[in-house]
């Protein structure tokens, strides 16, 4: 079964030959993993792991005082105007927010007058050719990540302030979510047009959960955020595309809402978060939603043994995978304190499985 067919069937909860496989890692782990596998070539690594999904993005061509490195992808001022600064520990460097560009606003008018990015700041003219190269040997499932209507707004406003806005000034919170979703939708539509039918999955996201519960009440999310998240899910579902949403933490109370919006695949399934065990999600949502991730990156991958990793991967597949609804992947980007041997155990177990 080719990667494209496998993921398309998984998104529809149809039987497949083996679980889907995907790979997401920090830059530091990615370099370490390639060295471990004896290759400098990204595609060779993806092929060795059996990855069915490939990600594509546009090239930033906007104002020089900003950059394409949104979401902490690099230090400096990103295309949204958020300023990020590097913070390092013994394993890696992460980028944290140093300036929230909408932290000072007090009116909806100020939000509207802000210098929002243009979809034309991104060049997608090379996407069709890039995807053709990716699919030269066999067709993979191509994912384009659009953006989100919760996390980006609080990045721009400040988390505390945005959460307070949802109660004290919901018009401001909604205005920020509206403009973020409008930009991300327009940018994704340009990518889809340039790719000429070669993009298969449109992703969106924004972490809604903590380890114990949702970051905000389900009712506040439904009233003030859900309508804008819907623009990044339902719109693309109605175009016949597979939809994908990323949220760390526990978000069980609103998973039903995401299904109603047309979500096909939920990521990354943080198994130690409340209610996010494979068994609980299968019991409540199995047959109506597919799952991506679920292999614990908090304790198992960094601190377990290869044998323990293999056993857990096989257990998760046995819970989720029988009806084709599972894509094996870590429950977050693989962190640089994870031994490469543990990562290989995860991928080898998934690659060897047969239904």
DSSP string over 139-180: PPEEEEEEE-SSHHHHHHH-HHHHHHHHHH-HHHHHHHHHHH
What was the pLDDT predicted at 182? 98
Q: Is the pLDDT of residue 71 over 90?
A: no
pLDDT confidence of 75, banded at 50, 70, 90? confident
292 close to 350: Cβ distance less than 8 angstroms: no
Q: Is the pLDDT of residue 194 over 90?
A: yes
What was the pLDDT predicted at 69? 75
pLDDT confidence of 324, banded at 50, 70, 90? confident
CA–chain centroid gap for 300, Å, is 21
Q: Is the pLDDT of residue 68 over 80?
A: no
- Residues paired with 77 in a beta bridge: 83
For domain 3-61+106-352, which architecture applies? Alpha-Beta Barrel (3.20)
For 185-194, what is the mean pLDDT? 98
Residues 6+ apart with CB under 8 A from 231: 149, 181, 182, 185
Percent of the chain's residues with pLDDT above 70: 100
Q: Which residues of 16-37 are buried (b: 16+ CB within 10 A; e: fewer)?
A: bebbbbbbbbbeebbebbbeeb
**Average pLDDT value for the chain:** 96
pLDDT digits (tens, 9 = 90+) for 24-39: 999 999 999 999 999 9
Q: Is the pLDDT of residue 314 over 80?
A: yes
Q: In terms of Cα–Cα distance, which of 226, 218, 264, 213 is closest to 149?
A: 226
What was the pLDDT predicted at 67? 86
What was the pLDDT predicted at 323? 75
For 235-260, what is the mean pLDDT? 98
Q: Is the pLDDT of residue 72 over 80?
A: no
Whether the model pTM is above 0.95 = yes
For 206-234, what is the mean pLDDT? 98
pLDDT confidence of 321, banded at 50, 70, 90? confident
Q: Is 158 left (phi over 0), alpha (psi -120 to 50) or beta?
A: left
């Amino acid at each position: 079964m080719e990667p494209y067919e496998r993921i398309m069937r998984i998104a529809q909860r149809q039987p497949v030959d083996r679980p889907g496989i995907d790979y997401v890692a920090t830059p530091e782990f990615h370099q370490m993993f390639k060295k471990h596998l004896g290759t400098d070539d990204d595609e060779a690594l993806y092929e060795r792991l059996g990855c069915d999904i490939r990600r594509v993005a546009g090239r930033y061509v906007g104002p020089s005082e900003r950059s394409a490195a949104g979401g902490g992808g690099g230090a400096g001022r990103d295309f949204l105007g958020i300023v990020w600064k590097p913070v390092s520990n013994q394993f890696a460097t992460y980028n944290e927010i140093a300036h929230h560009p909408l932290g000072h606003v007090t009116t909806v008018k100020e939000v509207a007058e802000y210098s929002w990015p243009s979809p034309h700041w991104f060049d997608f003219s090379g996407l069709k050719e890039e995807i053709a190269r990716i699919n030269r040997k066999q067709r993979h499932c191509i994912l384009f990540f659009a953006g989100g209507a919760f996390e980006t707004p609080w990045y721009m406003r400040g988390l505390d302030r945005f959460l307070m806005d949802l109660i004290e000034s919901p018009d401001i919170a909604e205005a920020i979510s509206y403009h973020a979703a409008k930009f991300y939708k327009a940018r994704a539509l340009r990518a889809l047009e340039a790719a000429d039918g070669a993009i298969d999955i449109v992703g969106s996201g924004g972490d809604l959960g903590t380890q114990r519960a949702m970051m905000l009440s389900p009712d506040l999310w439904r009233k003030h955020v859900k309508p804008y998240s819907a623009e990044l899910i339902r719109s693309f579902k109605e175009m016949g595309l597979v939809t994908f949403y990323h949220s760390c933490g526990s978000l069980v109370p609103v998973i039903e809402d995401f299904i109603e919006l047309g979500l096909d695949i939920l990521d990354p399934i943080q198994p130690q978060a409340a209610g996010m065990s494979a068994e609980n999600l299968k019991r409540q949502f199995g047959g109506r939603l597919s799952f991506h991730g679920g292999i614990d990156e908090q304790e198992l991958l960094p601190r377990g043994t290869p044998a323990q990793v293999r056993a857990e991967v096989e257990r998760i597949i046995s819970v989720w995978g029988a009806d084709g609804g599972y894509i094996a992947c870590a429950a977050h980007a693989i962190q640089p304190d994870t031994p490469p041997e543990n990562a290989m155990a995860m991928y080898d177990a998934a690659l060897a499985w047969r239904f």
